[in-house]
Amino acid sequence: MVSKGQIKLITSLQQKKYREKHGLFVGEGPKVISELKQENLKIHSFFSVNEHEITSEHDFHVTQAELQKISFLKTANTSLAIFEIPEPKPIETNGLTIALDAIRDPGNLGTIIRLCDWFGVKQLICSTDTTDCYNPKVVQATMGSLARVAIRYIDIENYLKETSLPIYGAFMDGENVYKKKLSQDAIVVMGNEANGVSETIEKLITKKITIPQFGNQTTESLNVATATAILLSEARRSTEM
Amino acid sequence: MVSKGQIKLITSLQQKKYREKHGLFVGEGPKVISELKQENLKIHSFFSVNEHEITSEHDFHVTQAELQKISFLKTANTSLAIFEIPEPKPIETNGLTIALDAIRDPGNLGTIIRLCDWFGVKQLICSTDTTDCYNPKVVQATMGSLARVAIRYIDIENYLKETSLPIYGAFMDGENVYKKKLSQDAIVVMGNEANGVSETIEKLITKKITIPQFGNQTTESLNVATATAILLSEARRSTEM
């Protein structure tokens, strides 16, 4: 059974303002839910079509039709959980950090979070106008990575002004990334899909870098997620040599 | 004016079997259309809301409502063109080639085509069960890159059996890609999103390579498009040193 109140709450969590108000977000399907639980995220309530999964007073047995009603997916999975948004971790002042300047596409954000997890980047700093990482599309795409990377939404201008680390940014006119050894204690800034890094942030970049182009000069610039993949690979490869 | 016959033709081109039957595909919006024209793709017919763009008997002036009716986009742009699918180019036996084994997601295929264009990979060989590159989503995402990369759909098993080039494949248990110099005359095989490289194809791989993981060991494997980005970057970086 799902109550009217529960339906209302879950539906509201599609929107960022209600996720912030309630401090909650939704994850769907056994794989996503079990990965987030493994990372010690607290469950507020849990809905499943499988009776044997109902083990506490916060668990609710539902029919597939009821689940479809509360699901954000076109075709509901077999379970849905409401998680508490964890307290943000304190900001690390060393190690490798990715800073995102107004990334809008949930698919790109999700890919970047998974890349951080793969390449052992523990901290992802997002400008306040970057897509919310608790957006359902991001949650479903990132799974456990979402909880393993410390993600903070802050004023990145202030953050970059205060750091003493080198600040790398990907630009068309920077230094060839293949010829430069990237520091393991640094911030890598990735810019908006359409406009790149904003002017205010560009002024704070200490080292502009470029991924060289080998093909036709009229090619569109690399997508922000694939550019992040290449830069993180470049940053880490030196530790393997 | 759009005739009933034109509407029927265009609508049918959403499906691969009709694209193949007619040898035609659809591109939408001035940017996509002009990029494809620049690459010398032949236009079968052209529909625009802008009267000044109507310059030949194959051009049709339409209202925004008429354009919306034939558009595959949620919100139609200002123009739509039907292009002739170009004759496939002969297969190159040297240089760097990407071979795709059953890539299903149009977004991934689109990203890989753009990566080929960026890194100067002139040839992309796709298994016959890989998503069609003239799928409207792929066309809109790749723009000019679609025409600059020679894309062939063939039996990749036979293709790989006949080549004398090294065949790289990305696997979890391969050689560290950072410690291996990749050849500029080689084939790089990328596998299906869920299942990786199929067993039959795996037997034909001559050098298994791995992108090392630096983070948590429970991380999901890298997405096929980001893995392609890293491998192409690795293949080309050595030419820059």
Residue-wise pLDDT for B14-55, tens only, equals: 999 999 999 999 999 999 999 999 999 999 999 999 999 999
Backbone φ/ψ region at B196: left (φ over 0), alpha (ψ -120 to 50), beta? left
Examine the pLDDT at B168 and tell me if it is beyond 90. yes
Mean pLDDT of chain A: 94
A219 contacts in chain B (CB < 8 Å): 114, 117-118, 144-145, 148
- CB–CB of A222 and B38 under 8 A? no
Provide the shortest C-alpha distance from residue B118 to chain A (in Å).
5
Which residues 50-79 of chain A have a CB within 8 Å of chain B?
A: none
Q: What is the pLDDT of residue A240?
A: 75
Provide the shortest C-alpha distance from residue A2 to chain B (in Å).
32
Examine the pLDDT at B57 and tell me if it is beyond 80. yes
Mean pLDDT of chain B: 94
Give the mutation candidate from A233, A236, A238, A241 for the B interface (greatest B CB count, under 10 A). Answer: A233
Q: Per-residue pLDDT tens for B97-145?
A: 999 999 999 999 999 999 999 999 999 999 999 999 999 999 999 988 9
Cα–chain center distance at A95? 18
Starting at the earlier edge strand, list the strands of the sheet with A96-101: A150-154, A123-127, A96-101, A186-191, A167-176, A207-210
The pLDDT-based confidence of B210 (bands split at 50, 70, 90) is: very high
Report how far residue A60's alpha carbon sits from residue A66's, in angstroms, rounded to the nearest whole number.
11
Domain ranges of chain B: 4-84, 96-240
The pLDDT-based confidence of A218 (bands split at 50, 70, 90) is: confident
Q: What is the pLDDT of residue B14?
A: 97
Q: A187-221: string of b/e by CB count within 10 Å (b at 16+)?
A: bbbbbbeeebbbeebeebbebbbebebbbeeebee
Type of residue found at A198: S
Type of residue found at A2: V
Say what percent of chain B tops pLDDT 70.
Answer: 100
Say what percent of chain A tops pLDDT 90.
Answer: 90
Examine the pLDDT at A48 and tell me if it is beyond 80. yes
C-beta separation of B83 from B36 below 8 A: yes
Q: Per-residue pLDDT tens for A73-97?
A: 999 999 999 999 999 999 999 999 9
Q: Does A237 touch chain B (CB under 8 A)?
A: yes
The pLDDT-based confidence of B215 (bands split at 50, 70, 90) is: confident
CATH of region A4-84: 3.30.1330.30
Give the mutation candidate from A148, A220, A236 for the B interface (greatest B CB count, under 10 A). Answer: A220
Q: What is the pLDDT of residue B172?
A: 85
Task: Give B96-240's CATH code, choosing from 3.40.50.300, 2.40.170.20, 3.40.640.10, 3.40.1280.10.
Answer: 3.40.1280.10
Mean pLDDT of A98-114: 96
Examine the pLDDT at A241 and tell me if it is beyond 70. no
Task: Indicate the SS3 state at residue B196.
Answer: strand
Q: What is the pLDDT of residue B217?
A: 72
Examine the pLDDT at A19 and tell me if it is beyond 90. yes
The pLDDT-based confidence of B241 (bands split at 50, 70, 90) is: low
